[in-house]
Amino acid sequence: MKLKILFVLLTCLFLAQLNATDAKNESSPVRFCLWPGIWSVPTDTNINGLSFGLATGIIKNKKETGCDLALFTSETGNFDGFQMGMGAKATNGKGVAVGLIGTDTRNFDGGSIALIVNNTDHSSDFWQVGMYNVSRASNGFQIGVLNVMDNGILPICPFFNYSVSK
């Protein structure tokens, strides 16, 4: 019985890939990404809705808006919305990135939450909550055990740090 279910799921994924390759639409409401290289829409498509799978977003789309959920890693560029995975990487957008192990955001306005480490570069409005937070050339605040911010009230500050104008 389990083998039949697996066969049906793999067949559906294969047919979805064939259909997506032939599609002329530039937008898709859903993407299921089993693993990098196995996805249900072409890489030059906008995602407006939900992207989910084991590892999502490693193959870049034009723009992703909505929710990106991954079991292992969620990596998105040109992203607006919410993303979550063991690790989360976001570039050029706004929203919230949640990484159970860590987050890495660049030019990303919004928040990042991680159990271990948050890393933010060049964000105009941001916040970080995690055990170890690092920020470069960004404006916002950090809450954690150790907070490192190049333009913070102190370069290294325990528990709380926020940016000041240079």
- Residue-range domain boundaries for the chain: 2-162
pLDDT score, position 2:
65
Dist. CA 3–CA 52, nearest whole Å? 23
- Once rounded to an integer, what is the mean pLDDT over residues 15-35? 60
Q: Answer yes or no: is pLDDT of 75 > 90.
A: no
Residue type, 79: F
DSSP codes joined into one string, the chain: -HHHHHHHHHHHHHHHHHHHHH---SEEEEEEEEETTEESS-TTSEEEEEEEEEEESSS--S-EEEEEEEEEEEEEEEEEEEEEEEEEEEEEEEEEEEEEEEEEEEEEEEEEEESSEEEEES-SSEEEESSEEEEES--EEEEEEEEEETTBSSSEEEEEEEB---
Q: Answer yes or no: is pLDDT of 107 > 70.
A: yes
Provide the β-strand partners of residue 84.
69, 98
pTM: predicted TM-score of the whole model, two decimal places: 0.77
pLDDT score, position 4:
61
Q: Answer yes or no: is pLDDT of 58 > 80.
A: no
